[in-house]
Amino acid sequence: MEKFRDFAIKYLKIAEKDLERAKRNLESGDYEATVFYAQQCVEKSIKSILELHGIFTKEHEISNEFAILAKKERFDENFSRKILTALEFFKLDWSRTRYPFISEKHLNLLYLYTS
């Protein structure tokens, strides 16, 4: 289990760096990068929790693994709901901040809304 603990610590340290990167990008107005690093921070933070419980995954979609763990370990329901909501947001919406998308026959870019 020490291997999993070491991975968990590493994930958390990288998540902290990603949070700082997100803050710096927010301050400079680079919103696409802000959301990207925020997503990375959330994902790596949750992966550190999974690792502490002996669960390793290379996948980016980790909602199911977290939900199963939360139920098995009887995590606080409010805590679990907040984590799953964040994971769901990033799964569905975060890519819109990094890539152009078409809405109502128009090409949309995040920076058009934030400049």
Q: What is the CATH number of the domain that holds 80?
A: 1.20.120
- Give the count of domains, the chain: 1
Residue 109 has what pLDDT?
56
Measured CA to CA, the distance from residue 48 to residue 68 in angstroms comes to 15
Residues of the chain with pLDDT under 50: 111-115
Residue 108 has what pLDDT?
56
Residue 33: count other Cβ atoms within 10 Å of its Cβ. 17
Q: How far is CA 13 from the centre of its chain?
A: 14
Measured CA to CA, the distance from residue 69 to residue 74 in angstroms comes to 8
Closest CA to 64 of 72, 6, 52, 10: 72
Domain of 99? 2-114
Q: What is the CA radius of gyration of the chain?
A: 16
Q: How far is CA 30 from the centre of its chain?
A: 18
Q: Which structure tokens are listed for 57?
A: 């995954």
